[in-house]
Chains A and B, each alone.
Chain A
């Protein structure tokens, strides 16, 4: 039982490059999330998806885009990477967002933009 799987685990980008972070969950959860975690700070929500085909902005969406074409997958895109996007990115999923149910997190993607 894999839970939430993120790929890649590590990535180095040059400023201006684009890339997509991938997230897959096998728990049939409706809601999925992308967070970033910076040193000494709490997790901040980038985007979330309450169900397949729907997405909404979180606290820090600028410079990112997302897609949820399949229920089990949630993709996070960086259009033109900037050094300020150097961070650890976590994907999470839960049965429902509205009831604040338990979220399961992936192992994280450590992204460095040089």
Chain B
């Protein structure tokens, strides 16, 4: 069964600090991995999409990495802001069928 596991489940950091969120998956065959940001009471919004051949992709202060060999991804947030407080969801898609498996998310709280 395809699985996507995210860690930590929740994280509290001070404004201005950096943090890294982890995503491990067992989805096979692999198509792509996406990171979404979900603000409280809102729908998820895409941050990055990574395919098999991509190791790193940035979107402003967000940098995602992918190691397809170990089936791990990370999302690094630099110089955190209060507006980064949200749930971050890792989604991995299966090649061919297009079926996507969602992680349970990491809840990030940035405090002043």
Measured between alpha carbons, how far is A2 from B3 in the docked complex, in Å? Answer: 33
A contact residues around B102 at 8 Å (CB): 42-44
Give the contact stretch, choosing among B13-21, B37-45, B55-63, B66-74.
B37-45
A contact residues around B104 at 8 Å (CB): 40-42
B43 touches A108 (CB 8 A): yes
Measured between alpha carbons, how far is A92 from B43 in the docked complex, in Å? Answer: 9
A102 touches B43 (CB 8 A): no
Q: Mark B94-108, 1 if CB is under 8 A from A, else 0.
A: 111110101111000
Instruction: Kindly provide the distance from the CB of A11 to the nearest chain B CB, expressed in whole angstroms.
Output: 15
Q: How many residues of A contact B (CB 8 A)?
A: 22
A40-B104, A43-B89, A100-B93 given as contacts; is B98 within 8 A of A105 (CB)?
A: no
Asked if B78 is at the interface (CB within 8 A of a chain A CB), the reply is no
B contact residues around A105 at 8 Å (CB): 43-45
Q: How many residues of B contact A (CB 8 A)?
A: 23
Give chain A's interface secondary structure class: loop
B89 touches A42 (CB 8 A): yes
B31 touches A99 (CB 8 A): yes
A42-B89, A43-B89 given as contacts; is B43 within 8 A of A100 (CB)?
A: no
A106 touches B96 (CB 8 A): no
Asked if B34 is at the interface (CB within 8 A of a chain A CB), the reply is yes
Asked if A51 is at the interface (CB within 8 A of a chain B CB), the reply is no
A contact residues around B49 at 8 Å (CB): 101-102
B contact residues around A106 at 8 Å (CB): 43
Which residues of B pack against A, CB within 8 Å? 4, 31-32, 34, 41-46, 49, 89, 93-98, 100, 102-105
Can you pick out 30 interface pairs between chain A and chain B where the beta carbons lie within 8 Å of each other? Answer: A41-B104, A42-B4, A42-B89, A42-B102, A42-B103, A42-B105, A43-B44, A44-B102, A45-B100, A90-B43, A90-B44, A96-B98, A97-B98, A98-B96, A98-B97, A99-B31, A100-B32, A100-B93, A100-B95, A100-B98, A100-B100, A101-B49, A102-B34, A102-B46, A103-B46, A103-B100, A106-B43, A107-B42, A107-B43, A108-B43
